[in-house]
Amino acid sequence: MANDKRIVITGLGWVTPLGHDLDTVWRRIVNGESGVGPIDRFDAHGFPTTFAAQVRDYDYRKYLDDPALHEHAGANSQFALGAAKQAWCQAGLDKYSSLDPRRVGIYLGSGEGVLDFDRYVATDLESWDEAKRAIDHQRWIEAANKQLDAWGEIEQEPNMPVSHLAREFNIRGPAYNCLTACAASTQAIGEAFTILRRGDADVMISGGTHTMIHVLGLTGFNRLTALSTRNDDVQGASRPFSRTRDGFVLGEGSGMIVLETLEHASARGASPLAEIIGYGSSADAFRITDMHPTGRGGAAAILQALEEAGIDPHAIGEDGRPLVHYISAHGTSTGENDSIETKAIKSVFGEENAYKIPVSSIKSMMGHLIAAAGSVELITCVLAILHQTLPPTINLHEPDPELDLDYVPNDARSANVECCLSNSFGFGGQNDTLIVRNWVE
């Protein structure tokens, strides 16, 4: 049956605030380094939050044979091109001449692009009060009339990274983009996995790409009081599961993976890095910005993924451990998210098993990549399996007494890691979970 197909990961790539290649970023994660710093893309003086985790010293053109094909690419597309090219080449598809482009697809999680005229207005916003009014300000209209061109308008569209990747790799199969807030790239990978299992493609590029580090993004999240305002300790600002957490840190970038059916990967002699075995998706059916206080939505997604993977959350393996060896938490560093995600994990695995599963959040190091967050976190799961190392939650020096799981505080840890679970929960109540395991014949 089509849904019995095994789906493997053959390529990984990312562009992040910690670097632009697998080895550099993984090394910095294991070392517990922070990619957070003062915003220098525009004048953030006067905003409640003046820092973010920016991608720095990045030139997407160095990844491309013909950069002229993408000369109008916006930031989301630029991040996606670099990350996807890394994954494509690691999978060996750049040297595979028998690929049928009609059997290759794309499924991304990508948000709205940066307003083309944003940079022309940013330096004129001299105060926080003025920034709050910016969306209605006449200067935006004047800047649009003077500076916004057709390409700038097009590149704001969330589906543009899909179009750029299709052109770059001559992909003519299924092509989709979803925008389900912070759950988008996890959902995209899950849906790409589903497309492959039902036989509609042989290869999928999937993941996410996003930046909201611009005037409108910073204004919106500040008005929601979702961001940390720890301006005097920016590298310590993202502190998931800490008693002193006060909000998340904006990040940006892209994570991309190449997914293939095992049959296709084997036929071309590719070496799988890992295998996706479960995907779950649910809605909270609650408030727009709040998770249900019991964690019911997140728990439902986790349970669905475990069921598809054939994993009993209450079972113990021969080594005395639960069958899931690591959970990459959504772990945003907001009071509500970290508490409710902990409840969801306990409700699914039961307290006996939940206490035995290490849980950590790489958002403590690279901030929250919004639509791209889940994809970089899934890549981290694959690397944890390949390197038998658990990434830490840094800045966890004052544990919240009500949050008592093993959050791998501050230092990476060597461990036997064969099966990982990755959670993503988005504004609007979208919840998505993926399960990935080590590759075995």
The C-alpha atoms of residue 315 and residue 405 are separated, in whole angstroms, by 18
Choice between 365 and 157, residue whose per-residue pLDDT is larger: 365
Give the pLDDT of residue 3. 67
Contact 34, 394 (CB under 8 A): yes
Q: Is-same-fold flag (2-267; 279-438)?
A: yes
pLDDT at residue 147 tops 90: no
In tens, the pLDDT along 157-190 reads: 889 999 999 999 999 999 999 999 999 999 999 9
In tens, the pLDDT along 72-130 reads: 899 999 999 999 999 999 999 999 999 999 999 999 999 887 764 444 444 444 455 55
Whether 182 sits among the annotated catalytic residues: the reply is yes
Contact 440, 418 (CB under 8 A): no
Instruction: Output the six-digit token pair for 82.
Output: 């670099």
Whether 368 sits among the annotated catalytic residues: the reply is yes
**Identity at 61, one-letter amino acid code:** R
CATH of domain 279-438: 3.40.47.10
Catalytic residue from among 20, 292, 368, 381: 368
In tens, the pLDDT along 229-269 reads: 999 999 999 999 999 999 999 999 999 999 999 999 999 99
Catalytic residue from among 178, 182, 419, 420: 182
The C-alpha atoms of residue 186 and residue 278 are separated, in whole angstroms, by 12
Mean pLDDT (the chain) is: 92
Contact 10, 270 (CB under 8 A): yes
The C-alpha atoms of residue 372 and residue 53 are separated, in whole angstroms, by 13
Catalytic residue from among 325, 330, 419, 420: 330
The CATH number of 2-267, from 3.30.365.10, 3.40.47.10, 1.10.287.10, 3.40.50.300, is 3.40.47.10
- The model carries a pTM of 0.93
Instruction: Output the six-digit token pair for 228.
Output: 């940390």
Give the pLDDT of residue 339. 97
Max Cα-Cα span within the chain: 68
The structural domains of the chain, with segments of one domain joined by +, span 2-267, 279-438
Q: Which of 69, 248, 90 is nearest to 164 (CA)?
A: 69
Q: Which of 387, 357, 325 is nearest to 29 (CA)?
A: 387
